[in-house]
């Protein structure tokens, strides 16, 4: 299916999702977010896809925030609807049980930063810029930026960044833990693909369990989180993937996981 503002390609078990409004730095308008929702739901249910790469068209931006002209026309009710819808779409990406990689090629501001944080892993080009500048518009982040940022970089750093609206470069982003890797701009997609292919070689049930444990366990009491981890470990010990993975290790061969 063709979309107006998002490109989608599936190749070698990887779904490539590209925000495609380069003339406005891939700003996230309502239609683009709706298209992302359809795509993420499709990818979540597609057994032929094991990982996603999310990026922006052009060389300047991943996504330079929400479409301010649309925000300007919102009232309290429609603003709430906009925030809840964006949160719902990004939550599908975060919880689909398949790893996603944000290949951040330039500006990732506001909703763009929030979209990158909903991905499992963030890789940035050297020219990438991150920020939550919503206070400059008289609003807060709306797509869970205050919540994901504080969980990724700590409450103190998140508070400073969201209160000042300060934009940071890729070097600072990797230093504070917002991204895990910074590469030259012309190496960005190759780095994202390398990471995706590495993940595709792992047991898919184990990948889904790890993401669930990290995301859910973070907000649990430590002992309860450990119980959740033990439960998932036990479940995985009863799977064909566990037998295949351990047998492959013992026999010095590459495992062929089936996801069951």
Long-range contacts of 232-237 (CB under 8 A, 24+ apart): 235/209, 236/203, 236/205, 236/206, 236/209
Q: Which candidate in 4, 38, 73, 134 is catalytic?
A: 134
Q: What are phi and psi of 164, to 5 degrees?
A: -90, -25
Q: Is position 38 annotated as part of the catalytic site?
A: no
Sheet with strand 168-169: strands edge to edge: 61-63, 107-109, 129-131, 168-169
Q: Is position 84 annotated as part of the catalytic site?
A: no
Q: Rounded to whole angstroms, how far apart are CA atoms 138 and 135? A: 5
Q: Angle CA(135)–CA(136)–CA(140) in degrees, nearest 5? A: 25
Q: Which candidate in 114, 160, 172, 212 is catalytic?
A: 114
List, by residue number, the catalytic residues. 114, 134
């Amino acid at each position: 299916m063709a979309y107006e503002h998002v490109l989608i390609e599936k190749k070698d078990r990887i779904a490539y999702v590209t925000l495609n409004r380069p003339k406005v730095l891939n700003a996230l308008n309502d239609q683009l977010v709706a298209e992302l929702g359809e795509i993420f739901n499709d990818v979540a249910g597609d057994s032929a896809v094991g990982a996603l790469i999310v990026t922006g068209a052009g060389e300047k931006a991943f996504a330079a925030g929400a479409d301010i002209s649309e925000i300007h026309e919102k009232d309290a009710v429609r603003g709430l609807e906009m925030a809840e819808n964006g949160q719902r779409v990004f939550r599908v990406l975060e919880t689909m049980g398949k790893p996603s990689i944000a290949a951040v090629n330039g500006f990732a501001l506001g909703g763009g930063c929030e979209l990158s944080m909903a991905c499992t892993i963030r890789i940035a080009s050297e020219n990438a810029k991150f920020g939550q500048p919503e206070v400059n518009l008289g609003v807060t982040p709306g797509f869970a930026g205050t919540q994901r940022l504080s969980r990724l970089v700590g409450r103190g750093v998140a508070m400073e960044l969201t209160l000042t609206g300060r934009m940071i470069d890729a070097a600072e982003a990797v230093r504070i833990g917002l991204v895990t890797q910074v590469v030259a701009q012309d190496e960005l997609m190759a780095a994202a693909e390398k990471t995706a292919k590495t993940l595709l070689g792992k047991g898919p049930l184990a990948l889904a369990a790890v993401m669930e444990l990290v995301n859910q366990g973070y907000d649990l009491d430590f002992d309860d989180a450990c119980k959740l981890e033990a439960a998932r470990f036990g479940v995985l010990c009863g799977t064909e993937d566990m037998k295949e993975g351990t047998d492959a290790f013992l026999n010095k061969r590459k495992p062929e996981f089936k996801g069951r």
